[in-house]
């Protein structure tokens, strides 16, 4: 896998004058998906130059996807982002949506990608002062998508209740401000004691609780690269990075590892306590 990505990396560097923006986007998306980190960081500079050169000839979807990859690698120039977060580009996207064949698929895909890019820029590039304007989209999507709880999800919830021991201290399927869904959210104070969730509108100038906010994420096999079950995809690494920026300590529960314990509930309980860094 890395060998192929390395060849693609060299291809851009050696043939950049003849590589199209659409091709660069596909290569960058491949890197991002496989969480491949190029050896030569100047490949991102070349990629940005190509995308700026071919900006008017690329599809809006391809541009947004390419920029999301560049932001993941913290290598997206401000000029390129300014072209996307402009009224002219919004009109261009609206025209693409109006003329597309797949009205059930394309509009939703491009709007979701635009949300992801807006979120990534706000969190990774705050110095660019690009506003977050996707909150209404996030809330609309959250209301449409039903939460389907798996057997593993229910089992982890049951075991967490046994660990926490207090009702109402576990937030389930929490949606953060920037639209990330957290399977379970917990709060632990400086003495390693569980405390009640702090409301989003909590304001007390006289007392700021010293707590660790914990996000527990269930990792399914599809979140890992197909030929490397220990290698998270770029989208999951980005989610983890952003949750940490939002103040979470992120804990991953690998479904594969959890289910290997079969019906041994005591072993699963120890597994979760170890992840939470709690004594037995």
Read off the pLDDT of residues 226-276 as tens digits, 9 standing for 90 and up.
877 788 999 999 999 999 999 999 999 999 889 888 788 999 999 999 999
- What is the rounded distance in angstroms from the CA atom of residue 115 to the CA atom of residue 104? 18
Q: For 212, phi and psi rounded to 5 degrees?
A: -100, 125
Express as a percent the part of the chain with pLDDT over 90.
Answer: 68
The reported pLDDT for the residue numbered 205 is 44
Q: Are 231 and 35 in contact (CB under 8 A)?
A: yes
- Cα angle 191, 180, 113 (rounded to 5 degrees) comes to 155
User: Rounded mean pLDDT of 157-166?
Assistant: 94
- What is the rounded distance in angstroms from the CA atom of residue 92 to the CA atom of residue 105? 18
User: Rounded mean pLDDT of 122-144?
Assistant: 87
How much is the CA Rg of the chain, to the nearest whole Å? 21
- Residue 221 DSSP SS3: helix
- Cα angle 222, 11, 33 (rounded to 5 degrees) comes to 15
What tens digit of pLDDT does each residue of 50-102 get?
A: 999 999 999 999 999 999 999 999 999 999 999 999 999 999 999 999 888 88
Question: Would strands 211-219 and 248-254 be described as parallel, antiparallel, or unpaired?
Answer: parallel
**Residue 249 pairs with which residues in a beta bridge?**
214
User: Rounded mean pLDDT of 176-203?
Assistant: 85
Residue 163 has pLDDT above 70, yes or no: yes
Residue 206 has pLDDT above 60, yes or no: no
What letter does residue 214 receive in the DSSP assignment? E
Which residues, other chains included, contact 3 with Cβ-Cβ below 8 Å and sequence gap of 6+? none
What tens digit of pLDDT does each residue of 45-56 get?
A: 999 999 999 999
Average pLDDT of the residues of the chain:
90
* DSSP H or E segment with residue 12: helix 2-15
The reported pLDDT for the residue numbered 244 is 96
CA atoms within 13 A on the CB side of 194: 20
Residue 170 has pLDDT above 80, yes or no: yes
Q: Are 186 and 192 in contact (CB under 8 A)?
A: no
- Lowest average pLDDT, out of 76-80, 163-167, 212-216, 247-251, goes to 163-167
What letter does residue 188 receive in the DSSP assignment? E
Q: Which stretches within 85-198 are classed as H helix?
A: 87-99, 106-124, 135-144, 151-164
Which one of 98-102, 117-121, 170-174 scores highest in mean pLDDT?
A: 117-121
Which residues, other chains included, contact 142 with Cβ-Cβ below 8 Å and sequence gap of 6+? 175, 179
Confidence class of residue 280 from pLDDT cuts 50, 70 and 90? Answer: low
Confidence class of residue 203 from pLDDT cuts 50, 70 and 90? Answer: low
Q: Are 234 and 33 in contact (CB under 8 A)?
A: yes
Q: Are 132 and 122 in contact (CB under 8 A)?
A: yes
Residue 104 has pLDDT above 90, yes or no: no
Residue found by looking up tokens 């390395």 in the block = 6
Q: Give the other-Cβ count within 10 Å of 36's Cβ.
A: 20
pTM: 0.91
Confidence class of residue 202 from pLDDT cuts 50, 70 and 90? Answer: low
């Amino acid at each position: 896998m890395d060998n192929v990505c390395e060849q693609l990396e060299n291809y851009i560097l050696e043939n950049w004058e003849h590589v199209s923006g659409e091709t660069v986007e596909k290569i960058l998306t491949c890197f991002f998906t496989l969480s491949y980190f190029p050896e030569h960081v100047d490949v991102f500079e070349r990629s940005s130059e190509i995308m700026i050169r071919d900006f008017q000839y690329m599809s809006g979807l391809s541009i947004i996807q390419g920029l999301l990859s560049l932001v993941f690698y913290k290598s997206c120039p401000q000029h390129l982002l300014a072209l996307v977060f402009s009224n002219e580009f919004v009109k261009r996207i609206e025209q693409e949506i109006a003329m597309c064949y797949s009205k059930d698929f394309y509009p939703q895909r491009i709007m979701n990608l635009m949300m992801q890019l807006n979120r990534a820029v706000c969190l990774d590039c705050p110095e660019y002062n690009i506003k977050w304007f996707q909150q209404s989209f996030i809330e609309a999507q959250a209301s449409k998508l039903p939460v389907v709880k798996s057997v593993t999800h229910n089992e982890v919830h049951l075991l967490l209740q046994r660990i926490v021991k207090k009702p109402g201290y576990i937030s389930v399927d929490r949606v953060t401000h920037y639209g990330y869904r957290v399977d379970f959210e917990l709060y632990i104070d400086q003495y390693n004691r569980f405390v009640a969730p702090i409301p989003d509108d909590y304001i007390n100038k006289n007392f700021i609780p010293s707590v660790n906010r914990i996000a527990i994420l269930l990792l399914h096999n599809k979140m890992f690269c197909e030929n490397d079950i220990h290698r998270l995809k770029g989208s999951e690494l980005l989610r983890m990075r952003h949750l940490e920026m939002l103040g979470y300590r992120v804990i991953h529960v690998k479904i594969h590892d959890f289910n290997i314990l079969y019906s041994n509930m005591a072993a699963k309980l120890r597994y979760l306590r170890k992840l939470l860094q709690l004594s037995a």
